[in-house]
Amino acid sequence: MKGIVFGLLAGAFITLQGVANSRISQDIGTWQAATITQFTGFVVALLILLFVRDGSWHQFKQVKPLYMSGGAFAAIIIFSNVTAIHQIGVTLMISALLIAQLSLTFIVDSTGWFGVVKQKMRLPQFIGIGMMIAGVVILKL
């Protein structure tokens, strides 16, 4: 249940962040909005880390460099979200985002990328993605 709550929170905050960044970018530019978002995200995460103090830095060197690329991905995510919101609106952007996330998740799960346990994708999963794509097409019409 906790995972579902956090998933819902993440979805809500992704939407709010995209809308806020879109508004910021209208005033100062998209990459500037991404920079502000990354910086404020860093500050908030650092404050939470200092307050909560969970985990350890001792095994930092054991983290593979590829996995350290999450922040760079976030900059591209922010730029892409803002640009998409300007072009197609929030609803279609989130729809496209979810389709892309699920499609890549299928690939990650079925191939075992990033050390995740391989999962077998079955027909119901592919039907679900197809239904989402059909839903986006209907939304666009």
> Does residue 40 surpass a pLDDT of 90?
yes
User: Mind listing the pLDDT tens digit for each residue in 68-84?
Assistant: 888 888 889 999 999 99
**Other CB atoms within 10 Å distance of the CB of residue 32:** 12
Higher-scoring residue by pLDDT: 50, 60: 50
User: Mind listing the pLDDT tens digit for each residue in 84-132?
Assistant: 999 999 888 988 888 898 889 888 988 988 888 898 888 998 898 899 8
Q: Using alpha carbons only, give the angle 19, 22, 27 rounded to the nearest 5 degrees.
A: 135
Instruction: Tell if the pTM clears 0.85, that is, is over it.
Output: no
Q: Contact, 38 vs 75, CB < 8 A? A: yes
